[in-house]
Amino acid sequence: MRRQPVLVYDGDCAFCTSSVRFAQRWLRPRCAATPWQFADLAELGVSRRRAEHEVLWVTPAGAVHGGAQAVAKLLLSAPCGWPVVGALLTLPPVRWIAHGVYRLIARNRHRMPGGTAACALPSAPATQKPA
């Protein structure tokens, strides 16, 4: 069993990588951070599809939190005043707003500072029409 949570992010995305480095340097969360491309996703109980679409926080017990709630968990694990911000992100209606803001940023991460074309989320598979 892992002793600390794991933050799983997109290591091919410059914006995501920069954001995680910023958090590690300035927020100092108590977790291991790993790009999903190098993580044992099966061991973490995470699908590749989910890891491609959102940042994930995996607890030592195996609970998985994604998107804005993963960010909330990261903040809750940081010292100083950050846990207060993290706690606010878990409460309605702040939670709902955080989810919307997270999705907006995730869909546009290739346009964010430091973002590149490699940061764009994968397209949904095209559905074929029956012949």
Average pLDDT over residues 98-112: 91
Q: 75-89: per-residue pLDDT in tens?
A: 999 999 999 999 999
- For residue 13, the enclosing domain spans 6-119
Q: What confidence tens digit (pLDDT) does each residue in 56-68 have?
A: 999 999 999 999 9
Read off the DSSP letter of residue 35: E
Residue 20 located in a structural domain = yes
Q: Shortest CA distance to 9 belongs to which of 73, 78, 67?
A: 67
Q: Per the domain annotation, does 79 fall within a domain?
A: yes
This prediction's pTM:
0.87
Amino acid at 92: P
pLDDT at 126 over 50: no
Domain presence at residue 128 = no
Residue 101 resides in a domain: yes
Cis peptide before 93 (omega within 30 of 0): yes
Place of tokens 């702040």: 94
Lowest mean pLDDT among 12-21, 51-60, 72-81: 12-21
Say if CB 83 and CB 30 are below 8 A apart. no
**In whole angstroms, what separates CA 38 from the centre of its chain?**
15
Average pLDDT of the chain? 90
Helix intervals (H) in 14-60 = 14-22, 41-44, 48-53
Given a cut of 70, is residue 124 above it in pLDDT? no
Report which of 109, 131, 104 is spatially closest to residue 120, judged by C-alpha positions: 109
Q: Determine the pLDDT at residue 116.
A: 65
pLDDT band for position 123 (cuts 50, 70, 90): low
